[in-house]
Amino acid sequence: DIELYCLDPLMGKYLDAGFPIHYYDNVRFVQGHSENLPFPDNYFDCVISVNAIDHVDDFEKTAQEIHRVLKTNGKIRMHVHYHQPTIPEPLEINDARMQQAFSWSSNFKKIHQSEIKHGSRALPGESYTVWTNF
């Protein structure tokens, strides 16, 4: 059986706004912050992040928490938006920062980089990347 968890610090606000989580009976929505994941050590077989890690408060702490909750030989796949810092997205992430933060994961590498995502084009100097350890 597959258990799918979705973590977001704003989950309570989504519920207040009427987000229909009851339609997703196979997903466990969890309110929490990536810098202090509300899960035990070695809990997940796989961690997937889609255009989210550039929104965290502390990138390096988030990478450490992913390491903590991921089982030995666990899989990681991340879609990461590279962009200049902005007020809503204050982190600037690049290849060196990704490699440094996830150096604990063997075979962690960038497998794709593009200026186009689902038909939309990134702003000048931006790109979309995919990182994985498998």
pLDDT of 73 reads 95
Q: How far is CA 29 from CA 14, 19, 22, 32, 62, in A?
A: 11, 11, 10, 10, 18
Query: How many Cβ atoms from other residues are within 10 Å of residue 47's Cβ?
Result: 21
Q: What is the pLDDT at residue 86?
A: 85
Euclidean distance between CA atoms 52 and 27, whole angstroms: 18
The reported pTM is 0.91
CA 2 to chain centre: 19
- Going residue by residue through the chain (134 aa), what tens digit of pLDDT does each one get? 889 999 999 999 999 999 998 888 889 999 999 999 999 999 999 999 998 998 899 999 999 999 999 999 999 999 999 999 888 788 899 999 999 999 999 999 999 999 987 778 888 889 999 999 99
Q: Are strands 44-50 and 70-82 parallel, antiparallel or unpaired?
A: parallel
Q: Are 107 and 75 in contact (CB under 8 A)?
A: no
Give the pLDDT of residue 63: 98
First to last CA, the chain: 21
Please tell me the predicted confidence (pLDDT) of residue 21. 86
